Amino acid sequence: LVCRQWQAVSRDEFLWREQFYRYYQVARDVPRHPAATSWYEEFRRLYDTVPCVEVQTLREHADQVLHLSFSHSGYQFASCSKDCTVKIWNNDLTISLLHSADMRPYNWSYTQFSQFNQDDSLLLASGVFLGPHNSSSGEIAVISLDNFALLSRVRNKPYDVFGCWLTETSLISGNLHRIGDITSCSVLWLNNAFQDVESENVNVVKRLFKIQNLNASTIRTVMVADCSRFDSPDLLLDAGAPPGRVFDLGSDSEDEAGGPGPGPAPARTKEGLRRFLDGLLDGRAQPQLSEHALETKVAELLAQGRTKPPEQGMANAHKLLIFTTGCLTYSPHQIGIKQILPHQMTTAGPVLGEGRGSDAFFDALDHVIDVHGHIIGMGLSPDNRYLYVNSRAWPSGSVVADPMQPPPIAEEIDLLVFDLKTMREAKRALRAHRAYTPHDECFFIFLDVSRDFVASGAEDRHGYIWDRHYNICLAKLRHQDVVNSVVFSPREQELLLTASDDATIKAWRSPRTVRIHQAPRPRPYPFISWFGSRRR
C-alpha cells in the first residue's frame, strides 16, 4: 500500500535477517533453513504457519484423554481415554464424531493407544485389563474401519508394550515370562489381524524375538521404522552442527559374545559359571554380592553362549523394531533396536525357535541407546529417519545400586534427537516442557513430528511446538490439566490436535489457515447485480 521504494525497503534481506535472529532468539551461528528462499519468507513461515490458534474443543470423552492418532490420509483420527472408549472422528473443517467403541464388555479398564494400518482399513487399539493395581496385563483389539466390527483380540503383556503394525495385516504384541525375582524374558509376537478360526480369542501368530531382561527391566513401547524411507528428502537436522556422539552399543563385544577362547560358547559359559559359583562358595567373590546382584550375574552368565548374535550389517534390514528397555533398573532408560528382515515379515513358517540352534535361547539386540534417564515418550519423523525421545534425566554421575530404587529424575523434560541412519545423536536436546511425577508414578507423554515441527505434551498443562531446524520453542498450547498426547495432521502440518486429562481434545490451526477459512466469500460485482435486476 506504499510506493515502490518503501515496498522494497520493507522486503530488505538484511532487515529481516536481523529481525529473525532477534525475535526468535536463534543463535547467530545457526544458518538459515536450506529450503528457505529469503529471510522474510522464513520469518513469515515461523510467524504464520505454526498451529497455535485454538479453533475447536471436543468434549465427547467422559474422562482423561490419553492418546490421539491420525489415519495416513488425514481424513480420520482416533482417540483413547480412561472412559474405556475408542472414538473415531471425521477430520473435516469442523471435526465430528464418527463412531465410539466401548471396550468395557471385554473386561478392559481403559484404552491407551491406537494406530491406523498403512491403507487405513484397520485400527489397532491397545488397552489395559481390569484387575489388581499391580497387574500388567493388557490386550490389543483390531477394528475394521469399514463397518467398525471387532476382528480380533490379542493378549499384550505388559500393557505398555502398546503394540504396533508391522504390515497392513499383521501386528506386533508382547508377552512377559518371569524367570527370577528381577530376571525375566520378553517375547515379541507377530499376529495376523484376521483370524482363520471362528473364535476371536485364538490368534494366528509367530514368535519374532525372545529377549532377556535383567534388573527388573522389561520391553515396552514398541514401534517400527521403515528403512526404505530413510533417503526421502527431509529436514537437514545436522546443518552446520558438529558430529554428534555415537550411541551404537551393539551386542558384539567380547563380554557379551562370551569372550575369546577355544571351544564352543556354551562350554566356555558353563566353565565360567562353575568358576564363579566355586568362588562364591569359597568366599572369594569380592565385593560381597546382594541377592539381586547375584541373580543378575548368574542370569548374565547363563545367557552367554545361549544368545543368538545380531545379524551382520544393516544393508539387508527392511524395517527396524524400536522399543524401550533397560539393564540397570526397572525404569526404561535405554532404547533397543532390532532389525526385521524380509523373511520375518509374515506369520507363515515355523512358529517357535525359528533360526536358532538348540543352545540359542535369546536374541541379541543390534543397537542400544542409553539416555541416562527415564524415557517417557518416543516419536519418528515422517521419513522414519529421526527418532525423537522425551526423557527425564538422572543426576549427573548417578549410579544405580539397587534395581528397585532408580535415581531421582529431573522435572525438566529433554527432547533428544537420534539419527537412525548414521546411529548418531543428531542435535542438542530441546527443552521447555516439564513433568512433576516421581519415577514410580511416571507416565507416558506422547510426541509427534511433522516436516518442520515437533510437538509434545507436558505435565505443566501445556502442549509445546518447536521448529526442527532452529531448535526453538514456537508455541505453548494451554489446557486445564496434563497434556498427554499431540498429533499433527499428515496432510497439513498447520493442524495439530492435543489431548488432556481435562477430558478434552483441542484442535489448533495456524493463523494463516484461520484467515483463509474466515475470509468472506467474494461478492458479485455491482454491475452484474444491477444487470441481473434489470433483466428481472
The per-residue pLDDT for range 285-340, each reduced to its tens digit, is: 555 667 777 777 776 667 666 777 776 655 556 899 999 999 999 999 999 999 99
The pLDDT confidence band at residue 258, using thresholds 50, 70 and 90, is very low
Has residue 237 been placed in a domain? no
Q: How does pLDDT run across 411-466, given as a tens digit for each residue? A: 888 899 999 988 888 877 777 666 666 555 556 899 999 999 999 999 999 999 99
Largest CA distance in the chain: 113
- Taking the alpha carbons of 67, 72, 74, 75 in that order, is the dihedral positive or negative? negative
Lowest-pLDDT range of 53-62, 165-174, 499-508, 521-530? 521-530
pLDDT at 277: 56
Which of 187-196, 323-332, 349-358, 428-437 bottoms out in mean pLDDT, i.e. has the lowest? Answer: 349-358
Look at residues 329, 38, 44 and name the one whose alpha carbon lies nearest to residue 182. Answer: 329
Pull the grid cell for residue 466. 518447536
Tens digits of per-residue pLDDT, 265-278? 455 555 655 565 55
147-156, 239-248, 296-305, 506-515, range with the lowest pLDDT: 239-248
Instruction: Select from 11, 34, 49 the last residue of a domain.
Output: 49
* Ramachandran bin of 372, using left for φ above 0, alpha for ψ from -120 to 50, beta for the remaining angles: left
- Whether 398 and 428 map to the same domain: the answer is yes
Mean pLDDT of 46-64: 97
pLDDT at 192: 92
Of the three residues 49, 71, 87, the one that is the final residue of a domain is 49
My answer on whether 173 and 40 are in the same domain is: no
Domain co-membership, 318 together with 383: yes
Please answer whether residues 391 and 371 qualify as being in contact, where contact means their C-beta atoms are separated by less than 8 angstroms. Answer: yes
362: left (phi over 0), alpha (psi -120 to 50) or beta: beta
> In the prediction, which pLDDT does 456 show?
95
Judgement on whether residues 201 and 119 belong to the same structural domain of the protein: yes
Is 280 part of any domain?
A: no
Q: Does pLDDT of 24 surpass 80? A: yes
pLDDT of 204 strictly over 70: yes
Confidence at 525, pLDDT banded by 50, 70, 90: low
Last residue of a domain, one of 10, 26, 49: 49
Query: At 129, which CATH number?
Result: 2.130.10.10
Angle formed by the axes of helices 291-303 and 265-281, nearest 10°: 160
Q: Higher model confidence: residue 423 or residue 349? A: 423
Specify the pLDDT at position 311. 67
Mean pLDDT of 228-255: 49
Query: Which DSSP letter does residue 215 get?
Result: T
Higher pLDDT, 495 or 305: 495
Written as nine digits, the cell of 380 is 519418528
Kindly state whether residues 4 and 74 are assigned to the same domain. Answer: no
The answer on 60 and 42 residing in a single domain is no
Average pLDDT, the chain: 83
Residue 173 clears pLDDT 60, i.e. is over it = yes
420 and 490 inside one domain: yes
Residue scoring higher pLDDT (236 or 11): 11
pLDDT at residue 233 greater than cutoff 70: no
- Residue 168 structural domain: 55-231+290-348+360-518
In this predicted structure, the answer to whether residue 241 has a pLDDT above a threshold of 90 is no
More confident of the two residues 72 and 136:
72
DSSP 458-510: BTTSEEEEEETTT--EEEEEE-SS-EEEEEE-SS-TTEEEEEETTS-EEEEE-
Please determine, for residue 174, whether its predicted confidence score (pLDDT) is greater than 70.
yes
Say if residue 201's pLDDT is above 70: no
Task: Yes or no: say if 114 and 67 are a contact pair by the CB < 8 Å rule.
Answer: yes
Predicted local confidence at residue 315, as pLDDT: 55
Let me know whether 23 and 167 are in one domain: no
Cα 286 from Cα 265, distance rounded (Å): 25
Q: Give the pLDDT of residue 441.
A: 59
Around 385, how many Cα atoms within 13 Å sit in the side-chain half-sphere? 18
The domain total for the chain is 2
Looking at residue 18, its pLDDT comes to 96
User: In the predicted model, is pLDDT for residue 370 greater than 60?
Assistant: yes
Does residue 9 lie within any of the structural domains?
yes
Residues 38 and 89 in one domain: no
> For the chain, percent helix, then strand, then coil, each to nearest 5?
15, 35, 45
Question: What is the pLDDT, as a whole number, of residue 349?
Answer: 60
The CA-based dihedral angle spanning residues 202, 163, 499, 509, taken in that order and rounded to the nearest 10 degrees: -110
- What residues does 173 pair with on adjacent strands? 189
Q: How far apart are CA 376 and CA 384, in angstroms?
A: 19
Q: Are residues 447 and 487 both part of a single domain?
A: yes
Establish if 157 belongs to a structural domain: yes
Instruction: State in Å, rounded, how far the first CA of the chain is from the last one.
Output: 40
Please indicate, yes or no, whether residues 380 and 422 belong to a single structural domain of this protein.
yes
| 477 in any annotated domain | yes
- Inside any domain, residue 68: yes
Residue 312 lies in a domain: yes
Q: How confident is the model at residue 264 (pLDDT cuts 50, 70, 90)?
A: very low
* 41 and 65 co-located in one domain: no
3-class secondary structure for 243-300? CCCECCCCCCCHHHHCCCCCCCHHHHHHHHHHHHHHHHHCCCCCCCCCHHHHHHHHHH
250 assigned to some structural domain: no
| Cis peptide, bond prior to residue 158, ω within 30 of zero | yes
